[in-house]
Every structure is written in C-alpha cells, then in structure tokens.
Amino acid sequence: MKMHEPAHSAQSLQQSRPQPGVAVDGRRPRVVIVGAGFAGLTVATRLAKARVDITLIDRENHHLFQPLLYQVATAGLSPADIAWPIRGLVRHQRNTRVLLGAVTGIDRVRKRVVMGGRNVAYDILVLATGATHGYFGNDSWAVHAPGLKAIDDATEIRRRLLLAFERAEMESDARERQRLLTIVIVGGGPTGVEMAGAVVELAHSALADDFRAIDPTQTRVLLVEAGPRLLPSFPESLSCHAERALRRLGVDVRLGQAVTRCAATGVTLGDENVAADTMIWAAGVAASPAAEWLAVAGDRVGRVLVGVDLRPPGMDDVFVIGDTALANDVVGKPLPGIAPVAKQQGAYVAEVIQARLTGKVKPPPFRYRDRGLLATVGRKSAVIAFRRLRLKGWLAWWIWGIAHVYFLISLRNRLIVMMQWLWSYASFERGARLITGLHPIKAEHEPEHEPEPEPEPEPEPEPEAETEAETTRTRRRDNDAASPPLAAPSPSTD
C-alpha cells in the first residue's frame, strides 16, 4: 500500500485524494453526522464498510418513521411500532459510535462539534438535524397548539384528545361540553389532512360506544388552511378530491382563513372566535439552528442554502441535507421536505465521501428522482401523484398502506403495523388509547406545584393575660416592682 505524504492538518482530506484506506495524520478520517433521521441514518449505514470513524449524534435515542407519527397521536399505533433504537440499527457497524446529546454549536476553525461542555472533532461534517414547528412569529401559541414532529409530541396530542372526551363526559354545562368536543387542526398540508381524517374517525367510530353522557359522533373537527386549497404541493384535482373526502367524513374544512389568535379557550379566524379545547398545529416548520452554527444566512424558515453537491458555498468539509437544507431541483424549484428526498440526499453524500476516500471521480451533481406524493384521507381513501400518474380513492389507499409498510425498517414492525391496520379496518378499534404523562386530572385542574400553606395567624392572647404580661414588663423595666406579679410562682420554702 502506498503511503501519502505527511498531512499538515485534517485539511489534507480536502486538498488531496488519499489512496484507499489511507489515514489522515496517521489515523482514519472522522465523519461526524448530526441527526439520525432519514438523511443522517442513510449516510451512516451507507458508510458501514468505509475506512472511516463515524460519530452519529442525536438528541433522541431512537430513529423515527415520521410519516406515521399522526397515527400514534390518534391512538392507531403505539410509539414502539414506528421507532427503533439508534444503537440497535448500527450495532454491527464497528466503525460507528452513537452519542446521545444536543449540539449547541460548531467551531469551524478548530473543526469541532460543540455539545455543551464536550467537543467532537471532525474531518467531514454532515448536518441532518431536521426541522421543528414554525408558528410564524407567534411562538407563544405552541403551548396551546402543539405540533407533530416527535414521539413526545404525538403522545401529548393523544393525551389531550382522549382527555377532552373524558372531561366532556363529566361536564354538566352544555356550552363547555361542546367546547371540549371541538378540535381545531391548523394547516392543510399532508399532516393536517391525514390528522383530520384520523381524528374524526377516532371520534365517530372508535369512541362512539364508549361513553354514556356524551355522544362522540357529535365531535366537531375543523381543518383550517390559510391558502386557497388543501395539499398545495399536489395537483389541484387531487386537492379537490381530498377536500370532498374530508367533508364526507364530517370535517369542517375552512379555506382561505388564517389563525390570528390562539389561546387556551380556542382560536380566532378573522372575526370569528372558535371555542375549542384541543388545537393541533400542522401549518409551518422551522429549521434547526444549523445556519446559525455555520454563520451563514438561512431562508425565511432557517434552512441552509446548499449547492448541487449539497454543501454550503465555500465549505468543502460540510454537507447539509434533509429538512435542514434548502436544495433546488434541476429547474430551480425547492425540493420538498419529505422522506424520499432526505434518503436520496443521504445516499448521495455517502457516495461523495466514498469517492473522496478512494480517489475515485466525484459523482455528478445531486438529482432527486421523484418517488411521488402520497396522502391518506381517512380509512378508505388516499391521493397519489407520481409524475403524470394520478390516483385517488380506495386503490390509492391500499397503495399508500403498502408503501408505508415497505419503508418501515424492521420485519417485526412491518408485521405489527400491518396486523394493527387490518384489525382496525375490520373492527374500527384503536388499541393504543392510553392517556399517559402527568396525572390527567392534576395536570388540567391543579397547578404543577402546590402552593405552600400560608402560616396561620397566632391566636390573640386573653385580655387578662396580655394586661398582666404588660404590667410585668413595665415593672421589670422600671426596676421598682414592689411585689412579684400575680402569675409569678412563690419563692421556694425548701
């Protein structure tokens, strides 16, 4: 094996093409991947046999199949059905270690990823940190209308949904009961559409016979979209089909209306106040602080602008992929934030790194191969757009289900999800109707910390005792008491 010339620093990885398996400064190149979602995990697994040392960092210990997260929020699936421990997924990759923690910054000069008080050195950095909820400058709404990006979000929404029915069962006031049975979903994209269909079916089917004082079929579900139509990334014909399907299910679809206020008691749509107990946010996203870490300008939601090689301008050792990146297709249109885009970007970055390590020709610019757009609308309908193909209805729903089962990571989860769906389809049951988290009654009606009891006022002494004590103090102070006070004990005669 031919050894390369001594490297002055880790920059030799950028300035030269090492021969296969050649280390940098006497060691193997260090690849640090931040984020174990679709994009980051794809990079890690594609480099399983590469002669590099991989560090995979994530704030969670699990990889999540996010497209089915709404089914956890509506009690259709359990969290373990769509999530897997990251360490278990890479346990056989001897070149990979996993770190659980949050990244707080990047030192590009020293080539370090900062995790609080810990620094992780890199030669190649891959940022795949995903996105979070975006409230268009109204971040205070988050406490009233949680978004749906993580398992904790899904279980919190599930808790709020199920708890609303429990509280309505015990409510005697008709107006308050109706408020408890009103659910507002903000955002008419795929998440909002799928959530609206699942929520209305949860109320009208799965819970229909479970209560005695209320009728869950009278639950009011509003889907609010500020734009002129649902599913704006889909062809208009499929958007119209999705709207009609939701209306047939009983969803109150509001188009061209924006939320102007969100509070604990409901939302405001223009001049209309809608009293509601449960609000769910599916209207916008915000990227991670990656642009801030790299000291580059981001777009309006914080995404990092990358070139055709998925690198920010002037950064040969940094890749940004997935929802964190603003990447354009061949006609200059931004790529959607969906799983197929993230996975293809991850595969491309792994190929670029492999080519750099082995001295092969650099791959051509990244080009997304369209895998289509899919969204389900309830239990018997879906819409699919794949190039020029347009599908809707029952057949599209089956294709949607097969595709999602196929992309689940493990055979165990594929079987479990398939059996859960078949059972739910046949019986209208939702097996994961668990209220978890804080004690529901205490969480809704009591403060988080019980206030300390105020000290009880000392009882006022009897008037005679007070007068007697005052007399005693006065006589002692004047030092001329002629006789002991009345309450004083007599001198001992012993």
Catalytically annotated residues? 194
Cα-Cα-Cα-Cα dihedral sign, residues 100, 105, 111, 117 = negative
- Where do we find the tokens 């359990």? 78
Q: How far apart are CA 120 and CA 38, in angstroms?
A: 22
Residues 6+ apart with CB under 8 A from 213: 168, 169, 170
Give the integer Cα–Cα distance in Å for 116 and 114.
6
Residues 6+ apart with CB under 8 A from 167: 180, 277, 444
Residue 367 phi, psi dihedral angles, 5° rounding: -140, 125
Strand partners, 121: 112
Extract the tokens encoding 360: 């092969």
Helices (H), 338-437: 339-358, 394-407, 411-427
d(CA 83, CA 3): 43
* CB distance 122 to 28 below 8 Å: no
Calpha distance 426→444 (Å, rounded): 35
Half-sphere exposure of 254 (CA within 13 A, CB side): 18
The CB-side HSE value for 96 (13 A sphere, CA atoms) comes to 25
Could you give the CA distance from residue 393 to residue 378 in angstroms, rounded to a whole number? 10
Residue 421's alpha-carbon distances to 75, 380, 418, in angstroms, are 12, 12, 5
R_g of the chain, CA atoms, integer Å: 31
Strands 220-225 and 251-255: parallel
Residue 465 has a CB neighbour count (10 Å cut-off) of 10
- CB-CB neighbours of 472 under 10 Å: 16
Rounded distance, CA 310 to CA 147, Å? Answer: 28
- Residue 264, Cβ neighbours under 10 Å: how many? 9
Distance separating alpha carbons of residues 59 and 36, to the nearest angstrom: 9
Residue 393: Cβ within 10 Å count: 15
For 163, the 3-state DSSP assignment is helix
